[in-house]
Amino acid sequence: MFYRPGQDEHGLPRNPFNALITPRPIAWVSTRAADGATNLAPFSFFNGAAYEPPIISIAFTGAKLGAHKGERKDTLANIRETKDFAVNIVPSALKDAMNATAGHFGIGESEFAAAGVTEAPCETITAPRVAESPACFECRLVRLVELPNEGPGENVTVFGRVLGVHISESILTDGFVDPTKFHPLARMGYLDYATITEVFAMNRPD
Ligand SMILES: Cc1cc2nc3c(=O)[nH]c(=O)nc-3n(C[C@H](O)[C@H](O)[C@H](O)COP(=O)(O)O)c2cc1C
């Protein structure tokens, strides 16, 4: 099959776009508003964007359906305001806590408390991090790119320079980050998730 998004009907029960870009890592992003209020929410349009210096990208997308239709995302508002954000890595054991933070929260309601996780201070930024997360990147905004948008809300990708990296000793084996020790959670299409339980290595051709 072939379809042109925005021009043709794909004819499938659900939009297949996300389901073809899988598995996606999940950035569990903690921020602090200028007034001090903290925020925590998951984002899977997330990846590394550069090595030297390390830079992370996160895409905020306009919500088309449901309670979040066209709504501003507090995470993006806080990043615009303070330039700081922390990306916490999600082990499978925290899947329900992560999911809870994608819910609808009013101003002053703590997503940390609702998810049952603990705020810990960062070293280089004012945003807090999730103490229970096995790794965290402390990031400072370097670029914010506004993308074309044909729905409610806005499409904005932020790029953050990594100023600090926390790694729990518990996920290291002989100094290597070992995914089998924390089973990183991955976002798939639709309502699906996956987890990494085994890995294999391959040599490059040269
Ligand atoms: C696993 C998962 C991944 C998500 N990925 C994204 C994403 O990449 N971009 C986005 O804009 N929203 C994404 N969302 C939706 C946001 O988490 C949701 O809109 C959240 O309420 C935003 O919270 P905030 O207003 O506190 O920033 C995702 C939700 C879940 C559960």
Residue 177 CB–ligand 1 contact under 6 Å: no
- Please report the pLDDT score of residue 65 as a whole number: 52
CATH number of 24-171: 2.30.110.10
Q: What is the mean pLDDT of residues 175-201?
A: 97
Q: What is the tally of helices (H) and strands (E) in the chain?
A: 4, 14
Amino acid (1-letter code) at residue 171: I
Band (pLDDT 50/70/90 cuts) for residue 2 is: very high
What would the pLDDT profile of 129-155 be if each residue is shown by its tens digit? Answer: 999 999 999 999 999 999 999 888 899
Residue 39 CB–ligand 1 contact under 6 Å: yes
DSSP letter assigned to residue 94: G
- Please report the pLDDT score of residue 133 as a whole number: 98
Contacts of 190 (CB under 8 A, 6+ apart): 14, 18, 19
- Is pLDDT at 46 greater than 60 in this prediction? yes
Of all protein residues, the one whose alpha carbon is nearest to atom 16 of ligand 1 is: 102
- Please report the pLDDT score of residue 26 as a whole number: 98
pTM: 0.96
Tell how far the Cα of 42 is from the centroid of ligand 1, in angstroms.
5
Distances (CA, A) of 131 to 30, 67, 87, 100, 195: 11, 29, 12, 17, 21
